[in-house]
Amino acid sequence: MFEGGAQGVHKLARGLMPVTTRSAHAIADPEFARAIGAFLIDERTEVARTVDELERAGPFRQEA
């Protein structure tokens, strides 16, 4: 296994396909935690869309 690091569409040409990662954080301020939660709703959707798009554009053959 090789960890290519975060981000970088240019990595597709080197055969490094996107992998979704997760993290967990404790946010002490309730208002800030709500703001982050609201942002993450849209962010998760956008990241999933981008990963799908990059997977389709990858250099490897895909089964039909």
pTM (2 d.p.): 0.70
Query: What pLDDT digit, counting tens, does each position of 10-29 carry?
Result: 788 888 888 888 889 999 99
* Token pair in block for residue 31: 């208002």
Q: So what's the pLDDT on residue 9?
A: 75
Burial group, residue 17, by CB count within 10 angstroms (0-12, 13-18, 19+): middle
